[in-house]
Each structure stands twice: as C-alpha cells, then as structure tokens.
Structure 1
Amino acid sequence: MRNAIRIGLLLAPGVGLVLAFMGAVLYRAVAQAFGLYDFSGTSDGLSLAHWQDVLTTKRFWRAFQWSAYIAASSAVIAVALAYPIALWLRKPFRGSLILSAMLKAPLLVPGLVAAFLLVNVISYHGFVNEFLVWAGVWAEPRRMQNDSNGFAIIGLQVWKQMPFAFLLLSGAVQAIPDPVLNAAQDLGAGKFARFRKIILPLTTKAMQAALVLIFIGAAGDFSFQTVAGPPSVNSMASYMASLQGSEGDWNGAAVVAVMLMALSLFGAIGLTALVQLITRTLGRLA
C-alpha cells in the first residue's frame, strides 16, 4: 500500500499536469458545442441548436462515414501487413537489420511531405501514368489522384503507420521466450497451433494498441485528406476546419470535434472487441 502511494506521488506532477490540460481542452470543446462558450466572445447559453445544425446535414454524415472508413481500413491493413513481417523478422538473419531499418524509414518522413511525394507519383502526368503509357498498358494517362474510393489516402496511411505497428508487434513477438515455443513443438504442436495457442494470445495487447492508435490517428487525418483526398468529400478534421475557417462557426466546429472524439472512442472499443473475438475463436479451434 505504501509503495502504491509513493508511486502515485511520484507520478502525480506529470500525470496530473497531463490530465489537467486534457480536461481543460475537453471541457472547452464540450462547452462550446453546447453553446456555453464561443471564441468569438459571445455565448447563447446552454443550447442544442448547434448540434441540430450540424447533425442534420448530409455533409457531416458523409464526413463521419468517410473518416470511419479511412481509419478502419488503414488500421486493419497496416496491422495485417506488419504482423507477418514481425513474425518473419523474429529471429535475426543476414540482412534482417537493414530490412528492419528500411521498414521504419517512413517514421522519419513528415506526413505532408509523404502526401506531396505520392501526388508526384500518381498525378495525371506522374511517374506511374507516364510509365504505363510508355509501356503501352494504356493509351493515355488516367486520373488516380483524389480518387473517390480513398485508395490514395489509405495507401498513405498504411505506408506511414505500418512501421509504428511493426515496432509494437515486433517487440511483443520478440519477447516470447524460445523455450516456450520449443516446448510446444516438442509436445507435437504444429506451426499453426503454436501461433493460435501461444503467439497470438501473447501479442493480442500489442495488436490492440496498434489498431487503436492507428485508427485514432487516421480518423483525425487532415494533411492526407487535403492533398490526396477527393474534393467532393471531407474528413472530420477538414470539415471542422471548414466550419471554423470559411464559415466562422466555432460552435459547429466544436460539435464536429466532440463527434470525432466519440468516433475515436467507439472505434477503439470496436477494434479491441474484434481482436478479442478473433483470439477466442482461434483459441477454441481443435
């Protein structure tokens, strides 16, 4: 008990400061969404009018669905790619360190720079189009930038976030003791059995953390959407910026911000539950 109190006292200055700042920001956003505060200096008092104005527009729900789609797709694909690579690189081999360093390289590239680099590659007269026309794959360039399916944004998110997922998953995979896997093999467990009975349960927490963090980051994306996204659809972040910037609607922007936090929260809960369901299902297999 005394040790717990001491640890709490040691953490209090840092954790307390973080919680205070987070609480102040959250309170200000919620208060502004309900009309209790406005950066313009005026306040209408407690009201649901701003929620009604935002939530009854098709533009908001398109942005909400779009951000959920981009975030979920990016998180699942990034983890699905990083997981087998982390398993493959669990035991060092010649060239594994170089390969691992190359996989982590996107972490050093700012997101906005990566977006502009991709635009140069997939634009109407970009490298891909020019090469495919030269190779005779198609007769004239085709539009790949700002595609309506968001493939460019998802590709950017996966390229940027997969190294982060790889770091989390590789740490969890490498922490599994070799004697545990060797003992399971000696007892007759095959590769798939060792994976679902040992590796998957021991790496579930890392997988959940990677999915949640990537989902939250992609849901609040602004730079990739602005550079590579379709002009007809907003992400939640770009819609919020549009309300605040061009329309001067601080309260409406606060409503979008609160809904973005709700999307992040429930998306994280959903992904966590999905991983738990998959782990339990595979664990029950004979």
Structure 2
Amino acid sequence: MLVLFALAIVLMLGFRLNDGSLLGSGFTLSNLASAISDPLYAAVLLRSLAIAGVVTLATVVTAYPVAYYLAFHAGARRGLLLFLVTLPFWTSYLLRVFAWKIVLAFNGVLNSVLLGTGILSQPSLAFLNTPAAVVVTLAHAYAAFAILPIYVALETIPRSLLEAASDLGAHPFARFRRVVLPLSMPGVLSAALVVFVPTVGDYVTPALVGGPSSTMIGSIIQAQFGKANDWPFGAAVSTLVMLVIAAVILLVAMASRRFGRRS
C-alpha cells in the first residue's frame, strides 16, 4: 500500500504543483486553480457525481433484496447463489461492458426483442450512447460489490432480535423497518461507498457505451495523461476529484457512526 498507493499519490501531487516535469523548479498552484475555476470541468465533475449517485442508488436498491434473500431465505442454496453472484468476475470487465454494448446497440439484442414483440416498428437509437446506458452498465458491473457487504451486515444480525420482535407483536414489515433495516445500514453505506468511489472516476464505460452527453471526469483525466500529455493539469483535476470523494467518504463515515450508535 505504501509503495503502490501512497507513493503514487505523492507523485501525483508533485505533478500537480509543477508547471512542467516532476523534477522541475517551477512549482505553482495555477493548475489546480484552473481546474477549479473552469466551468467546463465543474460541469463534467457534477455530471460524474450525478451519474455515480444514480448508479449507487440503483445498485444498492437492487442489491438489497438479493442480499436479504441470501441472508434469510437461501438456506442450503446459499453457497451456490453466492457463487453465482461472483461468477461475472470470472470474465474481464471490458468483456462485460462490450456485452452491454451488444445488448443496447442499434441492431442489438434489446432492439431485436422489441421489434420481435411489436413494441417498436424500427430499431431505436435511444439505448446506446446515453447516460442511461452508462448507468445500467455500471450498475451491473458493480452489483456484487453492493450485494456482498449488505449480505454480511444482514447475516450478522442476531436472529434472537427478530424472535423478540415477533414475541412483542411486530408484524414482518415492522420487524424489517425497526430491526433489520437499521442494523443493516452500516453494510448499505459501505456498499454505497464501494460503488460510488470507483464509478465517479470511471472512463472505460462512458467511452464504450456513453456519448458526448455522458462524458465523465475520468475521461478528462485520461485525456490529459494520454493524448494531451499534460500530466500536471491531469494531476490537478485528479486532486480535485480526490478532494470531492474524500468529502463524500467523510459524510458516509459520519452517517455510519450515527447508525452504529443507534444500534
């Protein structure tokens, strides 16, 4: 962690403070000031936060029922179902994104199904190269990252608490609302954080299934370190994203501590 993570951050900060190479003498804050003041990068960052927020919400909302079933109703099939949850990770992330591109393409699976059922009279361009395509692809890609933390939180809930709630006359929904959901919130928050942080900086998925309206901040950073060859400015934009994500992590940590005190 020290060599591969902390050293990389130090090098990035060094590039951010420099107007040329890392070993140069011209240290400046102009790169960071430009990244903060330019409305283009602010708009792309806000879009990235919005897309990542929608992805996180969609992933957690769809992952919770799966995790709940695994924890309380799967029984002897739990091991097999957990294996199936992690099975997509046996393939490359790029292959999974390309699979969604085939599904959502103009002549893809979704258009073929809609044409075959008579819902559409001609193929639609509304599925691919849109923010919705990015959201769906990312939500699928990070589904297991949300299911597993929530499952662990649900699995550790003492079943005696549910029995006590039943003995006190609580119906199933009341048990879920008053016992299960509050005690599982640390897992929900962890899952949200695990999904939100990498999706903010994702640039592969927007490049493959998104369009101009779904360009994210990761694409800007990748372009600065790649085609533009402007590493100092790329490092400055990366630092700005890190500061925003650090603020989000702090808020989640405070919320998690709050739920921990309630439990």
Matching residue of 1:15: none
Matching residue of 1:12: none
Matching residue of 2:21: 38
Write the distance in 1 (CA, Å) between the matches of 2:227 and 2:240: 20
RMSD of aligned residue pairs (Cα, Å): 2.5
How far off its partner does 1:212 sit?
0.7
Write the distance in 1 (CA, Å) between the matches of 2:232 and 2:106: 39
Write the distance in 1 (CA, Å) between the matches of 2:176 and 2:257: 15
Say yes or no: does 1:123 pair with 2:105: yes
Say yes or no: does 1:70 pair with 2:51: yes
Q: How high is the TM-score relative to the length of structure 1?
A: 0.80
Could you report, residue by residue, the CA deviation over 1:246-273 in whole angstroms, capped at 9, with x for unpaired residues? 2221111001110121222122334455
Could you report, residue by residue, the CA deviation over 1:26-72 in whole angstroms, capped at 9, with x for unpaired residues? 22222321227725x54422x12212333333331222012101211
Decide which of 81, 98, 108 is 2:90's aligned counterpart: 108
Extract unaligned runs of 5+ from structure 1: 1-17
SS of alignment partner, residue 142 of structure 2: helix
Judge conservation of contact 1:107–1:164 (CA < 8 Å) in 2.
no
Judge conservation of contact 2:60–2:192 (CA < 8 Å) in 1.
yes
Larger deviation, residues 83-92 vs 205-214:
83-92
Judge conservation of contact 1:75–1:215 (CA < 8 Å) in 2.
yes
The number of residue pairs the alignment matches comes to 259
Extract unaligned runs of 5+ from structure 2: none
How far off its partner does 1:183 sit?
1.7
Write the distance in 1 (CA, Å) between the matches of 2:183 and 2:73: 17
Matching residue of 1:137: 119
How far off its partner does 1:123 sit?
0.7
Write the distance in 2 (CA, Å) between the matches of 1:135 and 1:194: 42
Could you report, residue by residue, the CA deviation over 1:220-264 in whole angstroms, capped at 9, with x for unpaired residues? 212111111113543121101111222221111001110121222
The letter for the 2-side match of 1:241 is Q
Matching residue of 1:212: 193
The letter for the 1-side match of 2:18 is G
Write the distance in 1 (CA, Å) between the matches of 2:68 and 2:24: 57
Matching residue of 1:172: 153
Q: Which has the larger radius of gyration?
A: 1
The letter for the 1-side match of 2:110 is V
